[in-house]
Amino acid sequence: MKKPVHEFTAEVPEWSPYVTPVDFETATPEQRAAMKITPSNKGVSAYVLTLAHDPESLDVRSPLFNLIMYGKDGLASAERELGATAASVVNRCIYCTAVHTSRFLNLTKRTDVVDAIFADERNARLEPRHQALFDFAAKLSTTPIEASADDAAKLKDVGLSELEQLDLVLSAAIFGWANRLMHTLGEPLA
Amino acid sequence: MTTLIEKLAGVPPDSKLGAALKVRAEVLRLSEAAHDAVLVPREPGGLSHALRAALAARMCRHVGNAALVAHYEGYLAHGGDAEVAPLAHPGGSIGDPRRDAMARHADMLTLAPRQATRGDIEALKAAGVSEPDIVRLSELAAFVNYQLRVIAGLTFLKEVEGR
């Protein structure tokens, strides 16, 4: 019997919804289109089946998410993952944190960075470039929003171009969205 | 076409940040499409367009973005359902258990999503909110919080470039 996960981990858990997901077999054509079901792609997660209750949103959100997180130019992938992680730590989305720290680890092998974040969360001490990115993304994720132009200036100080700065804003903000679905509509199990 | 995020962030087009926004035009276009999908969907379910606008304005008041509040108040004024207007203000209620519960959930999703539990979803169900409407409400709140942060982030970056 799997149990809810309450502590941060880089081992990706299962996600179990609190609402009944859309039934794959009886999904409407619009829901199937939003879930990107094709003859060659029949594997649909419980998360996507849950979001298929609102196909108009899902249909736009998936390409937007992929473009922000996996676009080719601009901010390095690992640094987008760090922005995603900062938001997910602030919002305590255990599942999102696991997915995106594991991606960060695959890209960088920097277990020391992830260990520091899991140990001290928002107070984690990181090398200057990571610190600037992590702190800005975390402060942009709080309510009220704690970030300021001084925090943004630190991004420039550590050498981020305007496009990279923009990508960090987007990667943190899209997790202000993702966390509010993943963490509130279901729970991580392991 | 200028998207809402660009209009409210007010980034000078001839700045470096303005050039970066041009590179990310597709992100801005999809963000605008997402706005339409949560604010004025073809299939609104149990969340009327007016209720969506009221809740969006309420969340923007929590975060303190007056321009975005005004934007959603405009949608509310044209939404044809003045009854939900009190929900546009934090603490406001209309005496309808289902919609008042949705407003309280929007508050939690904006102010303290980290505290969310299964109990919050059970409370919505107990108040008569259907499961599809729980997902619709969550997408609305999640999108508005995304949009608030993109605009805030751009405003800070713009200020730094202008120093």
Q: Assign A189 to helix, strand or coil.
A: strand
Range of the structural domain that residue A132 is part of: 74-177
Contact list in B for residue A33 (CB cut-off 8 A) is none
pLDDT of residue B162: 87
Measured between alpha carbons, how far is residue A81 from residues A27, A48, A65, B143 in Å? 32, 21, 12, 20
Element (H, E) at A15: strand A14-17
| Within a domain: A147 | yes
Closest residue in B to A70 (Cα–Cα): B27
CATH at A121: 1.20.1290.10
Q: What angle do CA A138, A147, A84 make, to 5 degrees?
A: 25
Give A104 to chain B, closest Cα distance, Å.
22
pLDDT digits (tens, 9 = 90+) for A103-146: 999 999 999 999 999 999 999 999 999 999 999 999 999 999 99
Q: Where are the domains of chain B?
A: 4-162
What's the total number of domains in chain A? 1
Q: Which chain A residues are Cβ-neighbours of B21 within 8 angstroms?
A: 166
Residue A156 lies in a domain: yes
pLDDT at res. A41? 67
Average pLDDT for A57-85: 96
pLDDT of A39 over the 80 cut: no
Q: Which fold has domain B4-162?
A: AhpD-like (1.20.1290)
A182 is a domain residue: no
Question: In the predicted model, is pLDDT for residue A38 greater than 70?
Answer: no
The closest of B151, B50, B37 to B103, measured between CA atoms, is: B50
pLDDT score, position A1: 86
The C-alpha atoms of residue A58 and residue A64 are separated, in whole angstroms, by 10
